[in-house]
Amino acid sequence: MKSKQSGITLIGFLFVLAIAAFFGYMAMKLVPSYIEFLGVSKAMSQVASSGAEGKTLDDLRRDLLFKMDVQYVDDSTIKPKDITIKRSGNGAELNVSYDKRVAFLYNIDFLLHFEKSVMLQGNVGG
């Protein structure tokens, strides 16, 4: 009686392993950038909830950069020009928009764009 074998061959297994390693390497390169963005989001929420009554744009930028430093956000990631305030009707909105380039393989890079806005409590000064 002949039994039929089933399963994956060695070459098939190596092919699946190579694909899994490729996506694992990609995740290893991209996940830290998204974790850093979570730190930026948390810092923005802290600045927004602390209130902006009478603070200037420079004061808000300084507070946000300090809170991002506490959240382990790299200083080279977000420049002060990436932090803006949009005035709308009754309040103001703190907006952070930045791009991050992540080296992947040889001359292949990922360009990630992150953007977040939060409403500020209180009136922002001049």
For residue 94, tell me if it sits in a domain.
yes
For residue 13, tell me if it sits in a domain.
no
Task: Give the sign of the dihedral formed by CA 37, CA 40, CA 44, CA 50.
Answer: positive
Q: Comparing C-alpha atoms, which of 48, 57, 59, 37 is closest to residue 119?
A: 48
Residue 8 has pLDDT above 80, yes or no: yes
For residue 115, tell me if it sits in a domain.
yes
Is residue 125 very low, low, confident or very high in pLDDT (cuts 50, 70, 90)? Answer: low
The distance of Cα 89 from the centroid of its chain, to the nearest Å, equals: 29
Least confident of 4-18, 27-41, 66-80: 66-80
Reported as type and span, the H/E element at residue 18 is helix 10-50
Residue 120 has pLDDT above 80, yes or no: yes
Q: How many domains does the chain have?
A: 1
- Domain with 37, as residue range(s), is 33-120
The better pLDDT of the pair 91, 124 is held by 91
Do 72 and 39 form a contact (C-beta atoms < 8 A)?
yes
For residue 67, tell me if it sits in a domain.
yes
For residue 23, tell me if it sits in a domain.
no
Q: What angle do CA 120, 70, 44 make, to 5 degrees?
A: 15
Residue 124 has pLDDT above 80, yes or no: no
For residue 85, tell me if it sits in a domain.
yes
Q: For the chain, give the mean pLDDT.
A: 87
